[in-house]
C-alpha cells in the first residue's frame, strides 16, 4: 500500500515536549474542526478550508481540556477539563454558556446522546454523571467503575450507554433504569495511569456493534444485546490500540495504536485497507462527516487532515449513511455485495450468495470465518451467541433449555408425560429466589447460595399469623407445601449419599423440637401435600404416605399411576396421577382421586380432563373446598357433582387480554385469584412481591343472539352455586346438622338468581325471544319475581306474554295450593287448636287455605290460595301478594261470566272484589293493589282476620 | 413572584391542603384480612392480603403507619410518565392536564409515608420538583401580562397548591389595579407601577418542604 504523508499543523503546544491527550472533532457540516489538549487551557475552532487563518480560541478552563463533545446538531459544544468542570458553549460562535457540572477529580470523557438532550461526563471520579443539557440537572449517577472512566459512548438507538475505564473494564448501562446490563472485566488493555493514552470505545453507527480495543493489539466487536464477542480485527498493530473511530456509514473503522500507526479497516471484510505511520502517537481521530477525510491529532498537539483515506475504488466513508437504522441491523450488511464483486479485490461471490439467504445474526458470524480468527473458537461461539440472544428475548426458551420438570418444558416436549410438580411453584432460575409454594395463605421462597439454600416463609396476612424465622436448608428442598399450622419440605434424591428427605415444620407447638424428618432409601419424594393435622407425600414408587402432624407414619398405600401433583384442604387430599402414557396427540391422560384422610375414605375418583395438548399448571381446592384445575391453555375447571360428577370449565384465559398470562394461586366461589404476568412470562418473580388480581369466573358460553352474555353467565353460575348449596344442605341434613345458615345462603342466591332471570327476560323481550322468556319465567322461584315479570312485560307492551305469564303463575299457585291443602288437612287434623292459636301472620294463612278447600270443590274455578313460605316472605309484602293473587283468580272467573256462582262459593272476600267487575288484564298489578286497598278498607270491619288487612296497613 | 407570596395571604395553609388531598383515592395492597370499613364517606374494603383495594389516602397512610399495607404509587408517579409530563410542561406555555389536582400534596404525603413503595424515589421526587418549578414559573410569566385593563385571569389546569398560592395575590392585584385605575381614587399613576415589583421582592419565599 502506498504510504502518503499527512501534513500536521501545530495547534496546541505540548509543555516540555510531554505527551498529552488531545482531542479533535468535526462539526456536522464539516465547516469547523475543534481541537483541545490536556496540557492547554484553550479550545481551538479551526476552519479546515483555510488552515492558515488563526483559529478561534476559547479560554474558559483553568487547566488542560481533556474531553470535547459536540451535540449531534452541532449547536452546542461541551468540554471537560482537568479543572474538574464541564462547560457548555454555543457553537460555532463559541460563546460560553455555563458550567453544567463539576466533579471532584479531572474529567476524562464526555458524550452527547443522540438527541443532544443529555451529556454523560466521567473521569477519575467514581460515577458517570448523566446531565440534562436543558437545565443542567443531574438525572442520574452511574456507579460501577473501579478505575477512571476514559471512554463513554451512547448507543445510537438511545437504549444503552457504554463506558470503559482505564483498568480495562467495559460496562453497558441501560439508560432507562440506570442498571448495569453487562459488565465485561479486563477485556481491554490496562492503561494504568498514562493519561495520554486513554481507552476509548465506539458504537457502530447502526448501534448493533460496539468496538473496543482488544488485548491482542486488535479491535474486538461486541454484540449490542448480548455483549458477546462477535469478531475481531487483527492486523498490523504492534502495540495496543488507543483510539478507534467508525466511519459515518459504519463500513470502515480507523484505529490508532501506541505504535504510532493509524490503520483503516474495512469492517465487513475484516481487512485493513490503508495505514499511515506518524511521528508521534495519534491520540484522537475524527471522520469528516461529509466527504472522504479523517482528522487526526497527535499527543504533541499537532493536528492534520488525512484526505482521501478510502481508495476511490471503494465506497466513500460518508456514502450511504443510513437515515435511520433499524435495530435488526440488516442495513449494515445490505447492498455491499455488488460493490465488493465490482471492486474485484476480495471477491467471494459464492459466499455472498449464500449469505443472502441467512438471517443477519448468522451472517455476521459466517463472515467471521473469513477473518484470521481461529475457526474453532467461532464454532464454540456460534451456539452460545444464539442461546444468549434467545434468553434475552424470551424466557420461555430459557425454560426449555434450562430446567427440567416444570410446566414450560412439558408444553413443547412431544408426547411426554408431564413431570410431577407442586401447585404454586415456579421453576429454578439460577441465582434468583423462587417460589417453592404460593397459595392464598402465604408463600415459601428459596434461593440457593453456594451449596445450601435459604428458605423463607411469609404469610400474606402478617397480622394474625405467626412470624416464621427463615431457615438454612442443607438438603436442597425443591418441594414445599404450606398451611396455617405448618410447612412440609422435600428434596429429590441426588446420588447415593443425598437421600430424599421429607421434613415437617410446625409453626407453633407446645413442645420443643417438634419438627421431624423422614428419609427414603432408594425412593424419591415426588409431591407433598398438607392438610389439617396430616402430611402426605407421594413417592417415585407411586406410594402415598400419610403422616400425622407429629410424625407418626399412619398409612402407606399404592396409587394407580405415577403422580403428577397433589393438594390438601383441611381433611381432603386430592392426588392427580397419570392414567397412561401420553397420547400421540400430545394429550396427557390424567386421573384424580380424593380422599378424606381422617376418616380413611375415598370421596371421588375419576378422569381429570384438560384441554387437548395442554398440561396441568395448577391443581387445588377453592376456598369453599371445590376441586379445581388450571391447564396450560388457560382453562380453569371446577368439579361439580352435577351429572354424576363433571368438570365444568369456569374460566378461560383466551377470553381475557391476549398479552397476559395468568399464574393461578387460588379461587373462591366467584373470583379466580391469580398473578398477571406479561407475556411471554408464565410465572411471576419473587421480587417485587406479586400482587393478586381477582378475575371473574365465566363459562365459555356460545355467543348467543341475546347479546347479554354477562346475565346468561350469571344465570348459569347461580345455578351451579345453588346446586352446590342444595347438595351440601342435603349432606348436612343427612348427617343431622343444622342447615339454617346454608338456608339463608340459598335464599339469597335464589333472590339473586330471580333478579338475573328478570334481566334475561327483559333482554329476551327486547330481542323478541318470547318463548325463551316464557321458559325463563317458569324458572323463577319467588312469586314476587313472577309478578315482577308480569309487570315488566306489561310495561314492555307485550299483553299476550303478560297473559301467558299470568296463566303460568296461576298454574303454579294451583299446584302449591294442592300441596298446601294436603299439608293443611294434615295440620288441621293433628293440631287445629295450635293453628288457631297463632295470631297475626299465621291467621290469614289459615283462612286462606280454608278458602282453598272450599274453592277446590268447584272444578271450573281456579284457586285463589297459595302456601306461604315462611322463609321467603314477610308478612306485609305477603299481604300484597295475596290480594294480587286473588285478583288473578278473579280474572279467570270473570272471563267465564259466572259472577254469581263465585259469590256463594268464595264468601266475603269476593264481595270486596265485586266492586269492579270489568277487569282489564293489561292493568298493572300495582294499580290493582291500590284499588284493592281502598276496597279492603270497607271490608275490614267485617272480618278481623281478613288477609287484606296487611296490605292496608302497609 | 406568585410562588413567593406570603403565607398569611394564601387561603389555606399547606397542611390544610394536604388534609383536603387526603380524600383522594389510592390503591393499596393490604397484608391483613379485614372486613369492609363503613364510613360516612363510603365503604372501603374488604381487605384481603395481596389483593389491591382502593381506599382514601388518609386511610392508606394510617394503615401504612401500622405496617398493614403497602401503597401502590399512582400511575402518574412513574419516572416515564413524569418525564413525559415534564417535557410537555416545558414545551408549551399551557399547563398540562396530565397530573391530578392535588399532585403536590399526594406526592408529598407518599414521599413522607410510603417512601419504600415508590420505585426510583429520588428520580420521581426530583422530577416532581422540576415539574412544580416549571409550572410555577409558567404561572409567574402568565401573571406578568397583568395590566390595568385586566379584569380577570384565566389559567387552565392549575393544581390546588398553585391556585392556593396564586389566588389571593391575583385578587389583591386586580383589586389594586381597579382602585388605581379609577382616577378619583388615586390621582398619581406612578404608584401603580411601583406596587407590583414590591410584592415580588419583599415577600419571603414560601417553604413547601421542611
What is the arithmetic mean of pLDDT over A168-182? 86
Q: Select from B29, B50, B130 the Cβ nearest to the Cβ of A137.
A: B130
Task: Say how far apart CA A80 and CA A149 lie, in whole Å.
Answer: 13
Q: Is B33 in Cβ contact with A693 (below 8 Å)?
A: no
pLDDT at A192: 67
What is the arithmetic mean of pLDDT over A511-538? 89
Task: List pLDDT tens digits, range A643-667.
Answer: 888 899 998 888 777 788 899 999 9
Q: Which range has the top average pLDDT, A441-455, A863-877, B86-100, B105-119? A: B105-119
pLDDT at A827: 61
Task: List pLDDT tens digits, range B126-150.
Answer: 999 999 999 988 888 888 877 767 7
Task: Say how far apart CA A594 and CA A719 lie, in whole Å.
Answer: 24
pLDDT at A323: 54
Question: Is the predicted pLDDT of residue B102 greater than 70, yes or no?
Answer: yes
What is the arithmetic mean of pLDDT over A126-150? 84
**A467 CB within 8 Å of a chain B CB:** no
What is the arithmetic mean of pLDDT over A554-583? 91
How many CA atoms does the CB half-sphere of A886 hold within 13 Å? 29
Q: Is B51 inside any structural domain?
A: no
- Flag the least confident range among A101-105, A879-883, B50-54: A879-883
pLDDT at A537: 93
Number of domains in chain B: 1
- CA dist B125 → B19, B81, B108 (Å): 20, 13, 9
Task: List pLDDT tens digits, range A8-36.
Answer: 777 776 555 677 888 888 888 888 888 88
Nearest to B81 by CA among B98, B105, B103, B101: B98
Task: Say how far apart CA A257 and CA A273 lie, in whole Å.
Answer: 16
What is the arithmetic mean of pLDDT over A348-375? 41
Q: How far is B30 from chain A (nearest CA, A)?
A: 8
pLDDT at A17: 65
Which positions in chain A touch B50 (Cβ < 8 Å)? 460, 689-692
Which positions in chain A touch B117 (Cβ < 8 Å)? none
Which positions in chain A touch B90 (Cβ < 8 Å)? 134
Which positions in chain B touch A461 (Cβ < 8 Å)? 31-33, 49
Instruction: Evaluate whether ipTM surpasses 0.85.
Output: no
Show Cβ contacts of residue A746 under 8 Å, excluding neighbours closer than 6 positions.
A722, A725, A726, A729
More reliable by pLDDT, A403 or B31: B31
Nearest to A528 by CA among A465, A409, A436: A436
Show Cβ contacts of residue A435 under 8 Å, excluding neighbours closer than 6 positions.
A424, A425, A426, A443, A444, A445, A683, A686
Largest CA distance in chain A: 137
Q: Which residues, numbered 687 to 706 in chain A, qualify as contacts with chain B under a Cβ-Cβ cut-off of 8 Å? A: 689-694
pLDDT at B63: 92
Q: How far is A668 from chain B (nearest CA, A)?
A: 12
pTM here?
0.53
Q: Considering only alpha carbons, which residue of chain A is nearest residue B123?
A: A139
Q: Is B135 inside any structural domain?
A: yes
**Percent of chain A, pLDDT > 70?**
74
What is the arithmetic mean of pLDDT over A228-236? 82
**A673 CB within 8 Å of a chain B CB:** yes
Task: List pLDDT tens digits, range A486-509.
Answer: 899 998 887 666 788 999 998 888
pLDDT at A865: 42
Choose the mutation target among A115, A142, A463 for the interface with B, i.e. most B CBs under 10 Å. A463
pLDDT band at A5 (very low <50, low <70, confident <90, very high): low
What is the arithmetic mean of pLDDT over A463-483? 85
Residue A405: exposure state from Cβ atoms within 10 A (0-12, 13-18, ≥19): middle
pLDDT at A16: 59
Q: Is A135 in Cβ contact with B130 (below 8 Å)?
A: yes
Q: Which range has the top average pLDDT, A361-370, A533-542, A875-884? A: A533-542
pLDDT band at A453 (very low <50, low <70, confident <90, very high): confident
More reliable by pLDDT, A478 or A234: A478
- CA dist A136 → A139, A485, B39, B90 (Å): 9, 58, 48, 14
Task: List pLDDT tens digits, range A290-346.
Answer: 888 888 888 888 888 888 888 877 877 777 765 544 333 333 333 333 333 333 333
Question: Is the predicted pLDDT of residue A117 greater than 70, yes or no?
Answer: yes
Task: Say how far apart CA A429 and CA A457 lie, in whole Å.
Answer: 19
Q: Considering only alpha carbons, which residue of chain A is nearest residue B125?
A: A139
pLDDT at A854: 42
pLDDT at A239: 83
Q: Is B67 in Cβ contact with A462 (below 8 Å)?
A: yes
Which positions in chain A touch B29 (Cβ < 8 Å)? 689, 691
pLDDT at A14: 59
Nearest to A884 by CA among A935, A941, A840, A827: A935
Task: Say how far apart CA B80 and CA B120 lie, in whole Å.
Answer: 11
Q: Which range has the top average pLDDT, A185-189, A222-226, A465-469, A573-577? A: A573-577
pLDDT at B183: 67
Question: Is the predicted pLDDT of residue A923 greater than 60, yes or no?
Answer: no
Q: Select from A134, A140, A460 the Cβ nearest to the Cβ of B31.
A: A460
Residue A850: exposure state from Cβ atoms within 10 A (0-12, 13-18, ≥19): middle
More reliable by pLDDT, A191 or A680: A680
More reliable by pLDDT, A820 or A377: A820
Nearest to B148 by CA among B181, B175, B184: B181
Cα three-residue angle A640-A643-A649, rounded to 5 degrees: 45
- Flag the least confident range among A223-237, A380-394, A881-895: A380-394
What is the arithmetic mean of pLDDT over A144-157? 86
Which positions in chain A touch B82 (Cβ < 8 Å)? none
Question: Is the predicted pLDDT of residue B168 greater than 60, yes or no?
Answer: yes
Write the CATH number for B108.
Answer: 1.20.58.1020
Which positions in chain A touch B32 (Cβ < 8 Å)? 461-464
**B117 CB within 8 Å of a chain A CB:** no
pLDDT at A217: 83
Q: Is B39 inside any structural domain?
A: no
Residue A911: exposure state from Cβ atoms within 10 A (0-12, 13-18, ≥19): middle
Task: Say how far apart CA A156 and CA A324 lie, in whole Å.
Answer: 10
pLDDT at A544: 93
- Flag the least confident range among A210-214, A684-688, A792-796, A863-867: A863-867
**B130 CB within 8 Å of a chain A CB:** yes
Question: Is the predicted pLDDT of residue A941 greater than 50, yes or no?
Answer: no
pLDDT at A376: 41
pLDDT at B190: 55
Q: Select from B31, B52, B123 the Cβ nearest to the Cβ of A462.
A: B31
pLDDT at A737: 79
Q: Is residue A424 left, alpha or beta, with left meaning phi > 0 and alpha meaning psi from -120 to 50?
A: left
Nearest to A58 by CA among A27, A14, A26, A96: A96
pLDDT at A194: 65
CB pairs under 8 A between A and B: 39
Task: List pLDDT tens digits, range A715-724.
Answer: 988 888 888 8
Question: Is the predicted pLDDT of residue A839 greater than 80, yes or no?
Answer: no
Q: How far is B95 from chain A (nearest CA, A)?
A: 19
Task: List pLDDT tens digits, range B152-167.
Answer: 777 888 888 888 888 8
Task: List pLDDT tens digits, range A586-610.
Answer: 788 899 999 999 999 999 999 999 8
CA dihedral A400, A405, A411, A415 (to 10 degrees): 110
**Percent of chain A, pLDDT > 90?**
12
Q: Which range has the top average pLDDT, A132-141, A227-236, A799-808? A: A799-808
Q: Is B104 inside any structural domain?
A: yes
Indicate the average pLDDT of chain A.
76
Q: Is B113 inside any structural domain?
A: yes
pLDDT at A690: 87
More reliable by pLDDT, B195 or A78: A78
Q: Is B51 in Cβ contact with A692 (below 8 Å)?
A: yes
Provide the residue range defining the domain that includes B172: 8-22+73-186
Q: Is B67 in Cβ contact with A694 (below 8 Å)?
A: no
Between the two ends of chain A, the Cα-to-Cα distance in Å is 113
Helix intervals (H) in A394-505: 395-402, 407-412
- Flag the least confident range among A198-212, A376-390, A556-570: A376-390
pLDDT at B162: 87
Residue B82: exposure state from Cβ atoms within 10 A (0-12, 13-18, ≥19): buried
DSSP A470: P
pLDDT at A134: 78
DSSP A717: H
Question: Is the predicted pLDDT of residue A266 greater than 80, yes or no?
Answer: yes
| DSSP symbols for B156-185 | TT--HHHHHHHHHHHHHHHHHHHHHHSTTT
Q: Is B141 inside any structural domain?
A: yes
pLDDT at A358: 40
pLDDT at A378: 41
Show Cβ contacts of residue A350 under 8 Å, excluding neighbours closer than 6 positions.
none
**A117 CB within 8 Å of a chain B CB:** no
pLDDT band at A838 (very low <50, low <70, confident <90, very high): very low
pLDDT at B161: 87
pLDDT at B186: 54
Q: Are A681 and A674 in contact (CB under 8 A)?
A: no
Choose the mutation target among A692, A693, A695 for the interface with B, i.e. most B CBs under 10 Å. A692
Q: Which residue(s) pair with A253 in the sheet?
A: A246, A265
What is the arithmetic mean of pLDDT over B25-39? 90
Which positions in chain B touch A695 (Cβ < 8 Å)? none
Task: List pLDDT tens digits, range B44-82.
Answer: 988 988 889 999 999 999 999 998 899 999 999 999 999
pLDDT at A608: 92
Q: Is A463 in Cβ contact with B68 (below 8 Å)?
A: yes
Residue A159, helix vs strand vs coil: coil
Amino acid at each position: 500500500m502506498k504510504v502518503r504523508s499527512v501534513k500536521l499543523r501545530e495547534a496546541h503546544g505540548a509543555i516540555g515536549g510531554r505527551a498529552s491527550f488531545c482531542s479533535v472533532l468535526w462539526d456536522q457540516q464539516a465547516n469547523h474542526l475543534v481541537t483541545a489538549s490536556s496540557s492547554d487551557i484553550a479550545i481551538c475552532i479551526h476552519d479546515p478550508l483555510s488552515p492558515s487563518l488563526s483559529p478561534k480560541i476559547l479560554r474558559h478552563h483553568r487547566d488542560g481540556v481533556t474531553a470535547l463533545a459536540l451535540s449531534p446538531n452541532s449547536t452546542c459544544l461541551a468540554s471537560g477539563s482537568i479543572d474538574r468542570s464541564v462547560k457548555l458553549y454555543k457553537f460555532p460562535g463559541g460563546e460560553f454558556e455555563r458550567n453544567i457540572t463539576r466533579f471532584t477529580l479531572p474529567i476524562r470523557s464526555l458524550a452527547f446522546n443522540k438527541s443532544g438532550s443529555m451529556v454523560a461526563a466521567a473521569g477519575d471520579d467514581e460515577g458517570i454523571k448523566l446531565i440534562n443539557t436543558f437545565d443542567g440537572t443531574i438525572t442520574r449517577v452511574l456507579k460501577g467503575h473501579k478505575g477512571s472512566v476514559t471512554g463513554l459512548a451512547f448507543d445510537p438507538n438511545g437504549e444503552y450507554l457504554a463506558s470503559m475505564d482505564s483498568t480495562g473494564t467495559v460496562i453497558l448501562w441501560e439508560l432507562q433504569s440506570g442498571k448495569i446490563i453487562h459488565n465485561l472485566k479486563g477485556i481491554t488493555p490496562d492503561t494504568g495511569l498514562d493519561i495520554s493514552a486513554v481507552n476509548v470505545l465506539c458504537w457502530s453507527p447502526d448501534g448493533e456493534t460496539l468496538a473496543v480495543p482488544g488485548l491482542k493489539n486488535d479491535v474486538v466487536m461486541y454484540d449490542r444485546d448480548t455483549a458477546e464477542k462477535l469478531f475481531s480485527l487483527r492486523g498490523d498493530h504492534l502495540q495496543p490500540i488507543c483510539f478507534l473511530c467508525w466511519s459515518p456509514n459504519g463500513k470502515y473503522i480507523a484505529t490508532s495504536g501506541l505504535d504510532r500507526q493509524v490503520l483503516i479497516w474495512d469492517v465487513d471484510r475484516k481487512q485493513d485497507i490503508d495505514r499511515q505511520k506518524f511521528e508521534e502517537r495519534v491520540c484522537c481521530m475524527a471522520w469528516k462527516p461529509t466527504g472522504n477525510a479523517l482528522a487526526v491529532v497527535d499527543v504533541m498537539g499537532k493536528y492534520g487532515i488525512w484526505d482521501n483515506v478510502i481508495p476511490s475504488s471503494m465506497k466513500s466513508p460518508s456514502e450511504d449513511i443510513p437515515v435511520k437504522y433499524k435495530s435488526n441491523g440488516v442495513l449494515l450488511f445490505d447492498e455491499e455485495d455488488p460493490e465488493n464483486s465490482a471492486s474485484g479485490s476480495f471477491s467471494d461471490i459464492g459466499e455472498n450468495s449464500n449469505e443472502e439467504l441467512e438471517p443477519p445474526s448468522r451472517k455476521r458470524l459466517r463472515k467471521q470465518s473469513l477473518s484470521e480468527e481461529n475457526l474453532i473458537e467461532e464454532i464454540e461461539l456460534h451456539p452460545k451467541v444464539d442461546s444468549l440472544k434467545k434468553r434475552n428475548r424470551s424466557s420461555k426458551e430459557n425454560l426449555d433449555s434450562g430446567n427440567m420438570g416444570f410446566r414450560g418444558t412439558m408444553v413443547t416436549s412431544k408426547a411426554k408425560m408431564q413431570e410431577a410438580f407442586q401447585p404454586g411453584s415456579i421453576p429454578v432460575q439460577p441465582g434468583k429466589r423462587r417460589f417453592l409454594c404460593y397459595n392464598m395463605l402465604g408463600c415459601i421462597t428459596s434461593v440457593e447460595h453456594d451449596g445450601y439454600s435459604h428458605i423463607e416463609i411469609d404469610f400474606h396476612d402478617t397480622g394474625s399469623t405467626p412470624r416464621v424465622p427463615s431457615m438454612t436448608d442443607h438438603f436442597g428442598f425443591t418441594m414445599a407445601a404450606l398451611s396455617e399450622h405448618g410447612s412440609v419440605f422435600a428434596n429429590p434424591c441426588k446420588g447415593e449419599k443425598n437421600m430424599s428427605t421429607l421434613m415437617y415444620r410446625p409453626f407453633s407447638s407446645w413442645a420443643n423440637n417438634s419438627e421431624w424428618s423422614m428419609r427414603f432409601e432408594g425412593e424419591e419424594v415426588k409431591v407433598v401435600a398438607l392438610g389439617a393435622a396430616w402430611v402426605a407425600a407421594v413417592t417415585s414408587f407411586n406410594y402415598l404416605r400419610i403422616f400425622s402432624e407429629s410424625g407418626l407414619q399412619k398409612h402407606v398405600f399404592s396409587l394407580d399411576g405415577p403422580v403428577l401433583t397433589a393438594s390438601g384442604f383441611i381433611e381432603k387430599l386430592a392426588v392427580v396421577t397419570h392414567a397412561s402414557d401420553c397420547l400421540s396427540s400430545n394429550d396427557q391422560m390424567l386421573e384424580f382421586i380424593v380422599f378424606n384422610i381422617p376418616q380413611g375414605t375415598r370421596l371421588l375418583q375419576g378422569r381429570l380432563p384438560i384441554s387437548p395438548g395442554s398440561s396441568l399448571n395448577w391443581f387445588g381446592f377453592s376456598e369453599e373446598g371445590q376441586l379445581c384445575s388450571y391447564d396450560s391453555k388457560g382453562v380453569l375447571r371446577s368439579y361439580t357433582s352435577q351429572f354424576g360428577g363433571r368438570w365444568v370449565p369456569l374460566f378461560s384465559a383466551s377470553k381475557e387480554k391476549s398479552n397476559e398470562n395468568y399464574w393461578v394461586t387460588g379461587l373462591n366461589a366467584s373470583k379466580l385469584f391469580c398473578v398477571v404476568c406479561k407475556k411471554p412470562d408464565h410465572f411471576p418473580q419473587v421480587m417485587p412481591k406479586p400482587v393478586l388480581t381477582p378475575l371473574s369466573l365465566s363459562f365459555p358460553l356460545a355467543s348467543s343472539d341475546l347479546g347479554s352474555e354477562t346475565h346468561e353467565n350469571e344465570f348459569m353460575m347461580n345455578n351451579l352455586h345453588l346446586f352446590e348449596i342444595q347438595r351440601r344442605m342435603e349432606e348436612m341434613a343427612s348427617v343431622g346438622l343444622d342447615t339454617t345458615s346454608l338456608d339463608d345462603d340459598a335464599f339469597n342466591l335464589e333472590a339473586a338468581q330471580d333478579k338475573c332471570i328478570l334481566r334475561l327476560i327483559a333482554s329476551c323481550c327486547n330481542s323478541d325471544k318470547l318463548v325463551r322468556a316464557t321458559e325463563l319465567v317458569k324458572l323463577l322461584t319467588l312469586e314476587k319475581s313472577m309478578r315482577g315479570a308480569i309487570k315488566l312485560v306489561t310495561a314492555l307492551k307485550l299483553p299476550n306474554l303478560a297473559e301467558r305469564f299470568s296463566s303460568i303463575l296461576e298454574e303454579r299457585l294451583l299446584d302449591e295450593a294442592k300441596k298446601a291443602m294436603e299439608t293443611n288437612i294434615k295440620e288441621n287434623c293433628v293440631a287445629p287448636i295450635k293453628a288457631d292459636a297463632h295470631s297475626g301472620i299465621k291467621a290469614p294463612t289459615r283462612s286462606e287455605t280454608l278458602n282453598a278447600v272450599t274453592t277446590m270443590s268447584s272444578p271450573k274455578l281456579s284457586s285463589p290460595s297459595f302456601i306461604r313460605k315462611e322463609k321467603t316472605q314477610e308478612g306485609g309484602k305477603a299481604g300484597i301478594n295475596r290480594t294480587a293473587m286473588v285478583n288473578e283468580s278473579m280474572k279467570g272467573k270473570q272471563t267465564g261470566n259466572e259472577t254469581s256462582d263465585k259469590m256463594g262459593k268464595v264468601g266475603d272476600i269476593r264481595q270486596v272484589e265485586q266492586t269492579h267487575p270489568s277487569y282489564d288484564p293489561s292493568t298493572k298489578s300495582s294499580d290493582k293493589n291500590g284499588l284493592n286497598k281502598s276496597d279492603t278498607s270497607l271490608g275490614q270491619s267485617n272480618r278481623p282476620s281478613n288477609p287484606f288487612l296487611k296490605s292496608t296497613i302497609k | 413572584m406568585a410562588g413567593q407570596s406570603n403565607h398569611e395571604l394564601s387561603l389555606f395553609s399547606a397542611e390544610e391542603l394536604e388534609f383536603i388531598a387526603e380524600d383522594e383515592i389510592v390503591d393499596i395492597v393490604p397484608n391483613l384480612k379485614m372486613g369492609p370499613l363503613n364510613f360516612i364517606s363510603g365503604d372501603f374494603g374488604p381487605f384481603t392480603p395481596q389483593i389491591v383495594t382502593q381506599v382514601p389516602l388518609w386511610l392508606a397512610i394510617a394503615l401504612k403507619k401500622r405496617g398493614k399495607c403497602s401503597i401502590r404509587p399512582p400511575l402518574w408517579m412513574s419516572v416515564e410518565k413524569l418525564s413525559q409530563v415534564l417535557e410537555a410542561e416545558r414545551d408549551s406555555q399551557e399547563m398540562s392536564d396530565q397530573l391530578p389536582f392535588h399532585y403536590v400534596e399526594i406526592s408529598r404525603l407518599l414521599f413522607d409515608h410510603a417512601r419504600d413503595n415508590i420505585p426510583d424515589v429520588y428520580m420521581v421526587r426530583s422530577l416532581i420538583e422540576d415539574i412544580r418549578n416549571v409550572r410555577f414559573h409558567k404561572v409567574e410569566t402568565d401573571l406578568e401580562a397583568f395590566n390595568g385593563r385586566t379584569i380577570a385571569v384565566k389559567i387552565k389546569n392549575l393544581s390546588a397548591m398553585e391556585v392556593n398560592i396564586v389566588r389571593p395575590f391575583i385578587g389583591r392585584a386586580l383589586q389594586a389595579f381597579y382602585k388605581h385605575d379609577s382616577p378619583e381614587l388615586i390621582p398619581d399613576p406612578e404608584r401603580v407601577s411601583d406596587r407590583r415589583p414590591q410584592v415580588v421582592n419583599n415577600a419571603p419565599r414560601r417553604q413547601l418542604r421542611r
